[in-house]
Amino acid sequence: MRRSLLALLLGLVLAPAPAAAQGDTVSIDYECPSCAGGTRLGIAFLEDVGLQIGVNLINQFIIADSSQDVTPETWGRNLREGWEFDDNHFSTNQFAHPYHGNINFNTARSNGLDYWSSIPFAALGSLIWEYFGEIHRPSLNDYISTTVGGVALGELTFQLSSLVLDNQATGKSRFWKEMAALAINPARGVNRFFYGDWTRVGPNPPDRNPELLKGHMRVGFRVVDEGAGLDQGSGRLFLAFDFVRGDPLAQPYRKPFDVFLFSAQINAAEAKVIGRLSAYGRLYGTPLGQSERPRHALIVTQDYDYYNTEAFRLGGQSVRVGVMSRFELSPEWLLSTSAGGQVIILAAVNSEFEDGPNRDYDFGPGLGFSLGGNLSRAGHQFLRLSYAGQLIHNVNGLAGNHFLQELVVDASVPIGRTMSVGGQGIFYHRRSDYRTFPSVSQNTPELQAYLRWRF
Amino acid sequence: MRNPLALILTLVVLAPGSVAAQDGFWVSVGGGAAGNRVDCETCEEINRYWGPSGFVRAGGTVSPHIKVGGELHFWQASIEDTEAYVRGIQGLVTWYPSTSGGFFGQVGLGLSRIRSSFDVGDEVVGAAEVGLSVSAGVGWDVPLKEGVYLTPRVASVVVPVATIDTPAGPLDNVVSTIYRFELGLTFR
């Protein structure tokens, strides 16, 4: 049996790269220089499986997490009894699992596979973990958030690490760039180290374009209404980042996440430090109209959202289809608008459901729509308005539907070439109509005052 | 027995020359048998039911390794002389590790409707609910002639719903897991 297994594994590891086997034109992909134009399919498989074993062993023997003391009996029971929804913390289900999925995805992505071909590895790693990595029955919400959220975060971290990496750098500069990429995308960093790409000098991928990365950082205070009124809320420090790569109107679509947006907010004096994480990557785009400088474009994005504050919690994976437009009001003033629909694959929404000490939220798929407008002058954003609505149909938790709305108004004035001061008002509303429980309305206004630095 | 098994697995994944390169539009139709494992928060035990299943799926080709498409699928069974069914629609991503081999893995997401009937003496009462459907499976395209393939596939579809109201009371947080053993004809 051992020899057979070894033969199978060797067959997988040493199998010719599909790109070469099928007689395609071989093109060197400098995203993975050591892949030499092919893919390391077998290595990706072994890394994906090995990652689950490694995480389990660390949790069993170092962290001493008894939920991962797996045995053949627990595997058999999981296979017999099948799927359920778990009662873990919101942050575990909506952040930790997608992060784990990001590494699963990148075991393939960093071995030369493209975005689409890496998706099965995110799913496979999650399946193995759910059935064999924990003593609990496999959790369907984990499988979805690890796979779909993992793909979104995985491609985002792959693209972010590509912006940091520089195959032409040498010396200390090269070392720190590789270290930064390792922190952003551990699977890629480890593969680059073991296959010699940390030190190999050569061309960069032709689409490496760090100059297209724009962003801003905001630091300030926020006041949240937690039920006693906005005037009773206390000011809390926050730090927020927004990174945008590319321009969906100016750049023709080339590949998934060639244009992306990544936002994060860190909140002080809250139960959870990470208050918001959002990742939106373009999956498809085409200009509308024949103009050389198109004013409108149709775009499809894959979205990951995570909001975790004391006032409300919302997380989920979705796909959005929308139209972005840009109007030049004058040589300096620009109005950008967006309108779109959203298919929500699975969202987690705080609710009146209670199952154990950690589970106070529902799960469900849904539909959403959003409208937005942004007025800017010479690259500086003066005014932003956005509205989003979502209808979530619960499939686990309390039977019923959630209707969620969020209105954001943001205004700022420049105080220098790259600095500005501003304020933001956010109004979040949840109406939950339950089948066997009274309907609930929750209003959560929030005010922010901030200093913004554009880079 | 074990050595041939390993050999077969290797051949299934890597066997060259059995399928032409993936390209263009494709459509597949077929059916088979499926077991449905039903569990819920208020259920005393996990129940299993067998019944026929079927599907129609169609789509396009994203790359030599990837096909995407949509699927309509159904499962139904007679449970204690009443009918139950699961019908759904889902998007599928199919991945061929080797473009020269027919083996593929498949994942899908969509919506399904679970309906059950209950005999309450003088009448049959129906209860239905719509839930998410999540699927994963593996299969093999075996070439029959140019553009036509025989496609055996093993797949699992999981359908969670928050509540099904029955005459005996609500079944909360139901999870229906359907194991599909199907044979299809694929045209492309």
Share of chain A above pLDDT 90, in %: 75
Kind of pairing, strands B124-140 and B148-166? antiparallel
Per-residue pLDDT at A312 = 86
| Residue whose structure tokens are 């790693």 | A125
Q: Which residues in chain A are contacts of B93 at CB distance < 8 A?
A: 116, 119-120
Reply yes or no on whether the pLDDT at B10 is more than 90. Answer: no
What pLDDT, in 10s, does the model give residues A336-377?
Answer: 999 999 999 999 999 999 888 889 999 999 999 999 999 999
Check B6 against A346: CB less than 8 A apart: no
Contact B170 A147 (CB under 8 A): no
CA distance A221 to A448: 6
Predicted local distance difference test score (pLDDT) of residue A174: 95
When pLDDT is cut at 50, 70 and 90, the band that residue A27 belongs to is low
What length is written for chain A?
Answer: 455
Residue A50 is given by DSSP the state H
Q: Name the pLDDT band for A95 (thresholds 50, 70, 90).
A: very high
Mean pLDDT of A101-109: 97
Judge whether residue A47 has pLDDT over 70: yes
Residue recorded with tokens 């407008």: A373
Residues of chain A found within 8 Å of residue B37, distances taken between Cβ atoms: 82
pLDDT at B21 over 80: no
The pLDDT value given to residue B4 = 59
DSSP state string for A158-215: HHHHHHH--TT--HHHHHHHHHHHHHH-HHHHHHHHHTTTTT---PPPTT--GGGEEE
Type of residue numbered A253: Y
Return d(Cα B28, Cα B155) in angstroms, integer.
Answer: 15
pLDDT tens sequence across B80-104:
777 899 999 999 989 888 888 889 9
Taking the Cβ of residue B160 and every Cβ of chain A, the question of whether any pair is shorter than 8 Å is answered with yes
Instruction: Determine the straight-line distance between the first and last CA of chain A, rounded to whole angstroms.
Output: 59
Q: Does B132 touch chain A if contact means CB atoms closer than 8 Å?
A: yes
A105-137 b/e with 16+ CB inside 10 Å = b? bbbbbbbbbbbbbbbbbbbbbbbbbbbbbbbbb
Interface of B with A in 72-111 (CB under 8 A): 93, 95, 97-100, 105, 107, 109, 111
Which ipTM value was assigned to this complex? 0.80
Q: Is A415's pLDDT higher than 70?
A: yes
**Token pair 């190999």 in the structure block, residue:** A200
Asked which of A351-360, B105-114, B117-126 is least confident by mean pLDDT, the reply is B117-126
Q: Which chain B positions have a beta carbon within 8 Å of A15's beta carbon?
A: 13-14, 98
Residues contacting residue B92 through CB under 8 Å, at least 6 positions apart: B57, B59, B67, B68, B69, B70, B71, B106, B107, B108, B135
pLDDT confidence of residue A322: 97
Residue B9 confidence (pLDDT) above 70: no
Burial classification of residue A425, based on how many CB atoms lie within 10 Å of its CB (0-12 exposed, 13-18 middle, 19 or more buried):
middle
- Write out chain B residues lying below 8 Å of A364, CB-based: 132, 162
Q: What is the mean pLDDT of residues A207-226?
A: 89
Minimal CA–CA distance to B176: which of B80, B84, B96? B84
Average the pLDDT over A408-425 and give the result.
95
Res. A12: pLDDT tops 60: no
Structure confidence at residue A87 (pLDDT): 92
Question: Could you tell me which of B94, B91, B89, B71 has the C-alpha nearest to residue B141?
Answer: B94
pLDDT(A18) > 50? no
Rounded-to-integer distance, Cα A364 and Cα A343, Å: 11
